[in-house]
Structure 1
C-alpha cells in the first residue's frame, strides 16, 4: 500500500479555515433558527437573537477599517457567542437546527433577486436625493 504524499502545511491550514468558516456560517443560521423556536430556552433565545443579529448586521462593534482590532470582533465575539448559545441549547435541538441550516445553505441563490434589490435601493436613494434637492 502506497503512502499518500503529505500536503503542504498551508494547504491544510487553508482547508481547515474554509471548513471553519462554513461551520460558522451554518451555525449563525442555526442560532437564528434557535432564537425563533419556542422549544429553545428563553435565555438561549435572547442570546441567540443577539448573536445572530450582530453576525448578520453590516454594523460592527469595532469598524473593520481599524487595523487588527477591526477584525477582532469577527474572530472572537461571533464565535464565542455561537459557542455560548450552543452550550445553552439542548444537543438534539441544536443538531436539528444545524441540519436545517445546512439544508438552507445548499439552496441556490438568485443573482436576479440580488440585482432587483440593488436596483430598488438605487431608486430609493435617487428618489431621496430628488426630494432633498427640491427641499433645499
Structure 2
C-alpha cells in the first residue's frame, strides 16, 4: 500500500512538472494554458484552499482537487505537446519547485472574503 502511494505521488509530481513546461509552450492552446495556470498555481502555492491542519478535509483538496485539475489540464493539451514536455520534466526540478505567490495571494483573498461573509452573516 505504501509503495502504491509513493508511486502515485511521484507520478503526480511529474504531471505538475510537465504542466509547468506545457504552459511555456507556444503550441499549447490558450484555453488549456488557462486551466494549466490554475493547476500549477494551486500546486505551487504555499497556501491551500482548505488548510492542512483541518482534520480530514485539509488533505482532501490535495487528494481530490489537484488530481482533477491535472486530469482536466492533460485532456485539453495535444498529446504530442504533453509527451515532449514529459520527457523534459523527468529531471528538471530536482533542486526544488518554484513558488507561486500570486496564487497564494488569490487563495488568501478568497479566505478573507469567506471570513467577511461569515462575520457579516453572524452580525445580522
Q: TM-score, normalised by structure 2?
A: 0.73
Segments ≥4 residues shifted beyond 3 Å? none
Which of 1 and 2 has higher RCO (CA within 8 Å, sep 6+)?
A: 2
Report SS of the residue matched to 1:94: helix
In the alignment, structure 1 residue 31 sits paired with structure 2 residue 19: yes
Which residue of the other structure, out of 78, 87, 91, is the alignment partner of 2:79? 91
Max Rg structure: 1
2:42 paired residue number: 54
Which residue of the other structure, out of 43, 56, 59, is the alignment partner of 1:71? 59
Q: What are the ranges of 5 or more consecutive residues in structure 2 without an aligned counterpart?
A: 97-124
Would you say how many aligned residue pairs link Structure 1 and Structure 2? Answer: 96
Tell me the CA shift for residue 36 of structure 1: 1.6
Per-residue deviation, residues 6-31 of structure 1 (Å, max 9, x unmatched): xxxxxxx2111111100101111111
Tell me the CA shift for residue 92 of structure 1: 1.5
Per-residue deviation, residues 53-75 of structure 1 (Å, max 9, x unmatched): 10011111001110111011100
C-alpha distance in structure 1 between counterparts of 2:58 and 2:91, whole Å: 31
Q: What are the ranges of 5 or more consecutive residues in structure 1 without an aligned counterpart?
A: 1-12, 111-136
